[in-house]
Amino acid sequence: MSTKSDVKEEKKNLNFIEQIVMGDVEKGLNGGRVQTRFPPEPNGYLHIGHAKAICLDFGIAERFGGKCNLRFDDTNPVKEDVEYVDSIQEDIKWLGYQWENIYYASDYFQQLYDLAIRFIKEGKAYVDEQSAEEIAKQKGTPTTPGTNSPYRDRSIEENLDLFERMSKGEFPDGSMILRAKIDMAHPNMHFRDPIMYRIITSHPHHRTGNQWKVYPMYDFAHGQSDYFEGVTHSLCTLEFEVHRPLYDYYIDQFATDEYRPKQREFNRLNITYTVMSKRKMLQLVQEGLVRGWDDPRMPTICGLRRRGYTPESIRSFINKIGYTKYEALNDVSLLEAAAREDLKPRATRVCAILDPIKLVITNYPEGTTEDLVMENNPDNETAGTRVVPFGREVYIERGDFREEADKDFYRLSPGGREVRLKGAYIIQATGCEKDAEGNVTTVYATYDPNTKSGTEGGNKKVKSTINWVDVNTSVEAEIRLYDRLFAVENPSAEEGDFRDLLNPESMKVITGARVEKSLADAKPGDKYQFLKIGYFNTDLDTKDGQLVFNRTVSLKG
């Protein structure tokens, strides 16, 4: 049994929207029912901002024993496409959520149309033939009233006739609109005779084809759709707060019962060094400024997935930043920290050499190899071990060797310090070979057979440990390193064209890297920690033995 203080305690852990919902349930509003919806417009791929809305919409339904539907807000055929409808479903499922039903605003086109006819008949709507510029000029300002349209007092018959003909396609796009007849002096600008319908004959709709020539505006479609479906809590971002009275107004005009959906608003997610707008992302894709919607530099769900983010890391990030009533810009390092935290116990720790040079251990018996047993993940007891072949010739990072080194250099240098090859033996460099340009091509070293890791001699301490992979069994790989997509913290706040603010160094492709044998069969989506380098995800481009890895994040922020 829960006591009063339990309930109080539980309430404290809820975000402010959840507290509102809990209060509504306690009051028995709408019979104590909770129903939400996630309402994307299918005009682009989902980004991590949408994940914030998804976690709230689905999370609230889960927490309060209600349901959450997916509703496509497909009222603008010009920009919408089934490609987006499909990707949106895939991304929501990948994030770990399942909707109760899928609905489309286009399912309600007839109902909305009938409602518009009813508004006209009740003298609450009229057809305006002015241009968009004229209408804008008459809007007034927040402190001065607007001006009535000369078409505002048309007869009901004339309005009915014109609207019906608009919907039959008798008039060209942009020539007329249907407006609600409310109040051109209303202090809330959204009430100054808002547009209900516009003509679109130029683009077929992705579901209804050429059936409709008029399409409802967001404000006229959204609340009504919520009402038709039985939504109790219509959650959206803060910019819709000023639309809320209109949302309520429309529903009040036709609702016959007590039931009302409630719109509540929370802050949008914005993240540093990126843009969170489908319109801008579409531009980047169409102009080839990124490699597609799922480019690992994109803030899209599919981009983050390809980059190596897991659903858990995204949800944990969303949970940490929380929901408020204030706009904010969240530091991308919080998202990166969530990835590290999630991948640490999950990603197998392996060796990859990005810039390989060969190292020959001259006193290691020729023609001999041995199998070293390595822990897959010291932070995860269940991760087990794997066998890594070791032999006379290994690749090491070019930067781990210096022909001439000062005393501050702890890694390999001829006649210099002893260095441990990770999980193997202690070695000491003896010399090197160079090509005509003076680049080192081979490093020579000797090893101490009594220092094998995991044996008694393996405890001998040295100042540094370096990575290696076996020359004979390691495999070649392409490695893609990513940096921030934009060079400035808040590209949306800058003047000028956002495309000029892209970071020219946002992707570095390394070919000819070497990874240990255990990665030879890596499949897209397999996640690793490349020791000392970062967390990596096997890329979708991996095929026919051609390995490609994306760096998700570096090891430290």
Residues at the interface with ligand ATP (CB under 6 A): 39-41, 49-50, 52-53, 236-237, 268-269, 276-279
Q: How far apart are the C-alpha atoms of 161 and 180, rounded to whole Å?
A: 16
Question: Residue 534 in contact with residue 552, Cβ under 8 Å?
Answer: yes
Closest C-alpha among 329, 364, 336 to residue 470: 364
Nearer to ligand ATP, 240 or 528 (CB): 240
- Tell me whether residue 268 is one of the annotated catalytic residues: yes
Contacts of 84 (CB under 8 A, 6+ apart): 42, 43, 44, 45
Closest C-alpha among 37, 29, 30, 31 to residue 225: 37
Nearer to ligand ATP, 243 or 305 (CB): 243
**418 binds, options Mg ion, ligand ATP, none, Cβ within 5 to 8 A by partner type:** none
- Tell me whether residue 52 is one of the annotated catalytic residues: no
Nearer to ligand ATP, 130 or 490 (CB): 490
CB of 417 to ligand ATP, least distance (A): 52
Q: Find tokens 């919607």 and name the residue.
A: 293
Element holding 385 (H helix, E strand):
strand 385-391
Q: Find tokens 């803060």 and name the residue.
A: 238
Q: How far apart are the C-alpha atoms of 473 and 387, rounded to whole Å?
A: 12
Q: How far apart are the C-alpha atoms of 414 and 167, rounded to whole Å?
A: 84
What residue spans of 308-396 are helical by DSSP H? 311-321, 332-343
CB of 461 to Mg ion, least distance (A): 60
Q: Find tokens 């349930």 and name the residue.
A: 25
- Tell me whether residue 278 is one of the annotated catalytic residues: yes
- Among positions 320-359, residues that touch Mg ion (CB under 5 A) are none
- Among positions 12-71, residues that touch Mg ion (CB under 5 A) are 41
**490 binds, options Mg ion, ligand ATP, none, Cβ within 5 to 8 A by partner type:** none
CB of 482 to ligand ATP, least distance (A): 21
CB of 278 to Mg ion, least distance (A): 8
**40 binds, options Mg ion, ligand ATP, none, Cβ within 5 to 8 A by partner type:** ligand ATP
**39 binds, options Mg ion, ligand ATP, none, Cβ within 5 to 8 A by partner type:** ligand ATP
User: Which among 33, 37, 154, 278 is annotated as catalytic?
Assistant: 278
CB of 41 to Mg ion, least distance (A): 5
**206 binds, options ligand ATP, Mg ion, none, Cβ within 5 to 8 A by partner type:** none
User: Which among 41, 229, 312, 489 is annotated as catalytic?
Assistant: 41
Hey, which bits of 416-546 come out as E strands?
A: 419-421, 426-434, 440-448, 464-466, 469-470, 475-482, 507-515, 527-530, 534-538
CB of 331 to Mg ion, least distance (A): 25
Nearer to Mg ion, 41 or 90 (CB): 41
CB of 37 to ligand ATP, least distance (A): 9
Closest C-alpha among 382, 418, 548, 420 to residue 480: 548
The region, left, alpha or beta by phi > 0 then psi within -120 to 50, assigned to residue 415 is left
Q: How far apart are the C-alpha atoms of 34 and 67, rounded to whole Å?
A: 7
User: Which among 79, 268, 386, 499 is annotated as catalytic?
Assistant: 268
Question: Residue 329 in contact with residue 271, Cβ under 8 Å?
Answer: yes
Residues in the chain: 557
Nearer to ligand ATP, 207 or 278 (CB): 278
Nearest residue (beta carbon) to Mg ion? 41
Question: Residue 167 in contact with residue 201, Cβ under 8 Å?
Answer: no
Nearer to ligand ATP, 318 or 388 (CB): 318
Nearest residue (beta carbon) to ligand ATP? 49
Nearer to ligand ATP, 5 or 98 (CB): 98
Beta-strand relationship, 262-266 and 233-237: parallel
Number of neighbouring beta carbons within 10 Å of residue 30: 19
**Catalytic residue IDs:** 41, 268, 278
Q: Which residues bind Mg ion (CB under 5 A)?
A: 41
